[in-house]
Structure 1
Amino acid sequence: MNKLNIKRRIVLTGGPGGGKTTALDLFRRELKGKIVSVPEAATMIFSGGIDRSFVTEVACAQQVAIFNLQRHLEDIQRKTTPDGLILCDRGCLDGLAYWPHSEEDFFKTMNTSLNFELSRYDAVIFFETAAKSGQEIKSNNPVRNESAQKAIILDQKLQQIWSQHPNFNLVSSSESFIKKIMFGITTIEDVIDKI
C-alpha cells in the first residue's frame, strides 16, 4: 500500500456498555508510544454543560456539532503526530445512529458520504454492548445512561453502519472482558504491523 494512502486511524466503537471506554484506557497504557488517541466528541460536549435533547431540531444541531468536533479532533491529532497511529474513541459515522432523520439527510447535512467516511479509517474495532448477552451494562462514562433496551437498539444501528467497513472487527458481548481486550490489542498491533 502506498504510504500516502495510509490513514493510520482506527475507530473503537460499539453500543453503550460494551467496555469501550475501559478498553481504551487499557490500550493507551499497553500501547504507549505506539498510538495517540482522540477522545469522544459527544462526551466532551455533554459533559461540558450541554444537556442531551430529544427535540428534533436541537438533537440535529447537537449531532452536527459532535460530527464537526470529532473531525477536527482527528485532524488535530494527525497534524500533531503525522505518522502516528490514531485510535479514535468513536468515529464520525457514530452520529448517524443518533440522527433523527434519514441517512440521506445525515450525509447531506454533514456534506459527506458513507464511502468517504468509511475510507477515512484503516480498521474498526466494534465492542458489542453487554446488554446483547443479557449482562448488566455499567458505564465508566457519566454521560452514558441508556437503558439495556436502548443500548441494544443503538448497538444494532452502529453495527449496521460500521460493519460496512472492509476491516470491521467485532468483539462479541459474550466474550470475557479480558478476551475483548486481548482481541482489541491484537487487532491494533496487526494494523500497526501492516503500515
Structure 2
Amino acid sequence: MNTIKIAVTGGPSGGKTTLIEALQKEMGKTVSVVPESASILYRGGFPRIKSRNGLIHGQKAIYYTQKELEDLIFVEHKPKLMVCDRGSMDALAYWPEDPQSFFELIQSTPEREYARYDWVVHLDTAATENYDSMNPIRTESPTEAIALNQRILDAWAQHPRRIRINQRKDFLSKMAAAHGVIQAIMNGESVEQIRKTFE
C-alpha cells in the first residue's frame, strides 16, 4: 500500500490545526499526522530570535526536526494517509537570505523538497476581522500574516499538485472545502479535477 503524503500549509490563522484535528477524529488510524516542528521547538524552549542569525538557526532546526519526524512516522506506521502540519518549503517564507543559500545549507534542491510531498494543500490566512491572535506561538499581526501567507504561496508555487483554499463566506465553508479536497485526493481525483471543483 502506497502512502499519500500531504503537506497542509498556509498563513497564520488559516485553519490548518482545525482541519488536521478533524481528519484525525474522522479517519482514526488510517491517517498519521506529522506535528508542526516550529511549535514543538518553540514551546520546548528553543529561542525565537528574529535577527538574521536567529532566523537561520531557527529554520535549520525546524527543517531537520520536520525531516526526522516525517521519516520516523513513515517507517513506524506506513499509513494510508500522512498529513504534515506544514512542509519543508515553508522555511523560505522566513529565510532572511537568498533561497539558494537555504538549499546549500540543507544540501538539497527545490525539486527534491517538492518531491517529498505528493500534494500540498494551502489554506489562506483568515481575513483581518476573523484573524485569531490567541495562539501564544503566533507573533504576527494580521497585516504581517497576510504577507507571510503570500511568501508561503510563492515558496510552493512550482509544486505540481498544490491546491489553494482561499476565503469562503465563513470558516465552516472553508473547512468543508478543505475536507473535500482531502477526500478527493484519497479518491484518486486528478489535480485538474480538484482545482476545478475547489479553487
| TM score, norm. by length of structure 2 | 0.88
Letter in 2 for 1:69: T
- Match in the other structure for 2:178: 184
- Match in the other structure for 2:27: 31
- The 1:39/1:49 distance shift into structure 2, 3 A limit, reads same
Letter in 2 for 1:32: G
Match of 1:170 among 160, 164, 189: 164
Q: By how many angstroms is 1:138 displaced?
A: 0.4
* Structure 2 residue 110 is the aligned partner of structure 1 residue 76: no
Q: Distance in 2 between matches of 1:119 and 1:48?
A: 30
Query: Could you tell me whether the CA contact under 8 Å between 2:122 and 2:165 is conserved in 1?
Result: yes
Q: 161-170 or 70-79, which moves further after superposition?
A: 161-170
Q: Structure 2 regions of 5+ residues with no counterpart? A: 190-199
* Structure 2 residue 173 is the aligned partner of structure 1 residue 156: no
Q: By how many angstroms is 1:139 displaced?
A: 4.9
**Between the two proteins, what is the percent identity of the paired residues?**
33
Q: CA RMSD in A?
A: 1.8
Match of 1:16 among 12, 26, 30: 12
- Match in the other structure for 1:95: 91
Q: By how many angstroms is 1:117 displaced?
A: 0.7
Q: By how many angstroms is 1:7 displaced?
A: 5.5
Q: By how many angstroms is 1:51 displaced?
A: 2.9
- Match in the other structure for 2:52: 56
Q: Distance in 1 between matches of 2:30 and 2:133?
A: 26
- The 1:107/1:152 distance shift into structure 2, 3 A limit, reads same
| TM score, norm. by length of structure 1 | 0.89
- Match in the other structure for 1:113: 109
Q: Distance in 1 between matches of 2:20 and 2:139?
A: 19
Q: Deviations over 1:13-43 (max 9, x none)?
A: 1001111112211121122232110000000
Displacement over 6 Å in runs of 4+: none
* Structure 2 residue 130 is the aligned partner of structure 1 residue 136: yes
Q: Structure 1 regions of 5+ residues with no counterpart? A: none
Query: Could you tell me whether the CA contact under 8 Å between 1:10 and 1:86 is conserved in 2?
Result: yes
- The 1:160/1:144 distance shift into structure 2, 3 A limit, reads same
Match of 1:33, SS state, is helix
Q: Deviations over 1:93-150 (max 9, x none)?
A: 111110111111111111111111111111111110013xx33310564201210111
Q: 17-26 or 134-143, which moves further after superposition?
A: 134-143
Q: By how many angstroms is 1:153 displaced?
A: 0.9
